A and B are shown apart, each in its own frame.
Chain A
Amino acid sequence: MIRKLLLSTMVVAGCWFAASAANAQGLQVPKTQPAGQELRISGVNGTAYVFGPATAFKAKANGELVITSDQLRAAGMYTVVSDGNSGTFFVVADKASNVAFLARPSRVATAKTGVISGTGFVLDKFNNLVMQPTPVKFSLAVPGTPAETRSETSKNGVAFVRMDSGKKSGAAQFVAAVDDTEVRRVVTQTAADPCNIRFKAEPSKDGIHVVTDPIKDCSGNAVPDGTIVTFTETDQKGRSTVDARIKKGFAEAELPNEGSANLSVASGVVIGNEIHWGGK
């Protein structure tokens, strides 16, 4: 009795395995297929199914199944099924022809180390990530200065670089290039903190007119207009402050003239010279 039972189980298992094996019997498909190229699969009759990352359709075939180039643009795994048979193949990216370029930041102070980063994702013309190592050329330059250039080879479709900001302020062109394709970003290099603020004072109709020399950072770049420069006057009546804005490179303000006073200037945390005002 037990023997018969075991025998029966083996028969059933055998049938099940045979059926599974038959089901797994593959169609004649390539292992890989370049993206965007037509594929013809022979030996396909009747209804066929194609499932891919960006496609899924049912088609009638008569000896040959044609999958058009448009249907094979997206890289990834495709499965073709026909009459209980199936086959799986991978569409791989075409040659590199594009780059998605992330450049950060859009605004940076001059003369800082490793503050600019660029990441290039190497893509083919169908925006598939190109896994083959590909050289990506990065260059950074402010007009009128030599470009800093770096070539990096992509790994898993990604190449990255880190660069220093230049000494000259201006709109730096940050470019990533793959073959003939260039993608351009702008990194605005701005003056760093004022280096040495100096101002002078002279009597005016309404009080004391204070005005700075042109305000520059330590690399000689003009600090942007609109930057706050605080003038302070301390006299016997108290303290007077004016938050002046840099305009055309320098800042100026009118302070009350109350006789003897100490005048000072600052921008952010940078302090400039002091003047003792002796009176009218």
Chain B
Amino acid sequence: MRKTLWYAMAIAMIVLATSWISRRVLAASTPSVQVQLSTENVQPREVEDATETAVLRDYKLAWANLASAMEQNRADLLDQSFVGFAKERFGQAIAEQKKDGLRRRYVDHGHKVEAVFYSYDGSALQLKDVAKVEVELLDGSKVVATQPVTISYMVLMTPAENSWKVRDLEAVPGF
């Protein structure tokens, strides 16, 4: 019986350690963001191939930058990918996190993105994103909660000088 208890404890330790290590590894190495972008149902005009490529590249980068900014509490990391409301709001969240010693850690499991609106003049692109992103909420280094893994986002991107930037990124209850 005593032997069994030892086995049980050992297995429990292994399970716990594996779980902890996998989270650490996933979080520390900021995995390259996986995004599938579909532009088939976009209105009122088609997305050009070059635009699609640029949007895909810049949207991935935006998530990577958001993750870094939120984890390191550095609003300057938002500059490359965010503009307008999105930049303002995330910047404010970072300022408040910093004040209370909080952080957010993103573990990105991929995005299914559908372009739904592309303006006639090509100056705005709206996306629906079903994102599998686990967000750990930390007080110092202690995880206090984890947000749900699948979240729907309504995204608005606008062209900047050499890239597309996220102007609005709102989580919504569903589409």
Which of A's residues lie within 8 Å of B, judged by CB?
4-5, 7-9, 11-13, 15-16, 31-32, 49, 51-58, 74-77, 79, 81, 86, 88, 90, 92, 102, 104-105, 117, 119, 121, 127-129, 131, 155-158, 160, 162
User: Do residues A32 and B139 form an inter-chain contact, with CB atoms below 8 A?
Assistant: no
Q: How far is the CA of A81 from the CA of B7 in the complex (A)?
A: 35
Q: Which residue of B lies closest to A77 (CB)?
A: B171
Q: How far is the CA of A117 from the CA of B90 in the complex (A)?
A: 31
Return the 4 tightest CB-CB contacts between A and B, nearest first. A8-B8, A117-B120, A54-B89, A77-B171
**Contact (A76, B170) CB under 8 Å given A7-B4, A88-B148, A158-B117:** yes
Q: How far is the CA of A62 from the CA of B99 in the complex (A)?
A: 22
Q: How far is the CA of A31 from the CA of B148 in the complex (A)?
A: 14
Q: Which residue of B lies closest to A159 (CB)?
A: B117
Q: Which residues of A contact B5 (CB under 8 A)?
A: 8
Q: Pick the contact of A79 from B8, B101, B120, B145 — CB < 8 Å?
A: B145
How many A-B contacts if CB must be within 8 Å?
134
Q: How far is the CA of A235 from the CA of B90 in the complex (A)?
A: 73
Whether B55 sits at the interface, judged by CB under 8 Å, is no
User: Do residues A127 and B85 form an inter-chain contact, with CB atoms below 8 A?
Assistant: yes
User: Do residues A54 and B12 form an inter-chain contact, with CB atoms below 8 A?
Assistant: no
Q: How far is the CA of A121 from the CA of B168 in the complex (A)?
A: 11
Q: Which residues of A contact B101 (CB under 8 A)?
A: 58
Q: State how many residues of chain B have any CB contact under 8 Å with chain A.
A: 48
Q: Which residue of A lies closest to B95 (CB)?
A: A56
User: Do residues A54 and B121 form an inter-chain contact, with CB atoms below 8 A?
Assistant: no
Q: Pick the contact of B119 from A31, A52, A119, A156 — CB < 8 Å?
A: A119
B143 shortest CB reach to chain A, Å: 10
**Contact (A58, B100) CB under 8 Å given A74-B89, A102-B119, A160-B44:** yes
Which of B's residues lie within 8 Å of A, judged by CB?
3-5, 7-8, 11-12, 15, 44, 85, 88-90, 92-94, 96-97, 99-102, 104, 116-117, 119-121, 123-124, 126, 128, 135, 137, 139, 144-145, 147-148, 151, 154, 156, 168-173
Q: How far is the CA of A119 from the CA of B146 in the complex (A)?
A: 38
Q: How far is the CA of A127 from the CA of B169 in the complex (A)?
A: 12
**Contact (A54, B119) CB under 8 Å given A49-B102, A121-B156:** no
| 8 interchain pairs, CB-CB under 8 A | A8-B7, A9-B11, A11-B8, A16-B15, A86-B145, A104-B120, A129-B156, A129-B168
Q: Which residue of A lies closest to B120 (CB)?
A: A117
Q: Which residues of B contact A157 (CB under 8 A)?
A: 126, 154
Supplied contacts A9-B8, A129-B156, 7 more A-B pairs, CB within 8 Å: A5-B11, A53-B89, A58-B101, A79-B137, A117-B119, A119-B124, A129-B168
Q: How far is the CA of A52 from the CA of B137 in the complex (A)?
A: 11
Q: Which residues of A contact B4 (CB under 8 A)?
A: 4-5, 7-8
Q: Which residues of B contact A7 (CB under 8 A)?
A: 4
User: Do residues A54 and B92 form an inter-chain contact, with CB atoms below 8 A?
Assistant: yes
Q: Which residues of B contact A117 (CB under 8 A)?
A: 119-121
Q: How far is the CA of A155 from the CA of B93 in the complex (A)?
A: 28
* Secondary structure dominating the interface of A: strand
User: Do residues B170 and A129 form an inter-chain contact, with CB atoms below 8 A?
Assistant: yes
User: Do residues A8 and B170 form an inter-chain contact, with CB atoms below 8 A?
Assistant: no
Q: Which residues of A contact B11 (CB under 8 A)?
A: 5, 8-9, 12
Q: Pick the contact of A128 from B117, B123, B151, B170 — CB < 8 Å?
A: B170
**Contact (A75, B170) CB under 8 Å given A53-B90, A56-B100, A156-B117:** yes
A36 shortest CB reach to chain B, Å: 14
B174 shortest CB reach to chain A, Å: 9
User: Do residues B89 and A156 form an inter-chain contact, with CB atoms below 8 A?
Assistant: no
Q: Which residues of B contact A12 (CB under 8 A)?
A: 8, 11-12, 15
Q: How far is the CA of A157 from the CA of B124 in the complex (A)?
A: 13
**Contact (A54, B93) CB under 8 Å given A12-B12, A49-B102:** yes
Instruction: Count chain A CB atoms within 10 A of each CB in B3, B15, B145 and give the residue with the most.
Output: B145
B19 shortest CB reach to chain A, Å: 8
User: Do residues B7 and A156 form an inter-chain contact, with CB atoms below 8 A?
Assistant: no
B12 shortest CB reach to chain A, Å: 4
User: Do residues A56 and B93 form an inter-chain contact, with CB atoms below 8 A?
Assistant: yes
**Contact (A32, B173) CB under 8 Å given A12-B15, A156-B126:** yes
User: Do residues A131 and B172 form an inter-chain contact, with CB atoms below 8 A?
Assistant: yes
